Amino acid sequence: QVQLVESGGGLVQAGGSLRLSCVVSGSIFSIYDMGWYRQAPGKQRELVAHITTIGSTNYADSVKGRFTISRDNAKNTVYLQMNSLKPEDTGIYSCTLYGRTGNLWGQGTQVTVSS
């Protein structure tokens, strides 16, 4: 059974940084693209960052230059480094594995940025 477990969320002041981690178990991690999504209160879930199996990345325009997605295949882990955080970055951040039959999701981790 494949499981994705996020960690690293919390409360931070505007301008601060957080690093999210997502550990994948029960699957061959290295053969799948991975992504981070977020959902703010009252809004739809949106893609924040995506990383391919070979490390190519793309980002939402709202986080370009501030967030960095990376992966460590030896640790079955994908990271999201978030710098210069803004109150509008507040939300539940979830990692996803782009599987052959659909996306698999973690339970999410709350990120709250105070002004």
Tens digits of residue pLDDT in 96-114 = 999 999 999 999 999 999 9
Task: Write the pLDDT tens digit of every residue in 61-93.
Answer: 999 999 999 999 999 999 999 999 999 999 999
pLDDT for residue 40 is more than 90: yes
Counting other chains too, the contacts that 44-48 makes at CB distance below 8 Å and 24 or more residues apart are 45/94, 48/80, 48/93
Mean pLDDT of the 36-50 span? 96
C-alpha 45/C-alpha 96 separation (Å) is 12
Determine the residue type at 27.
S
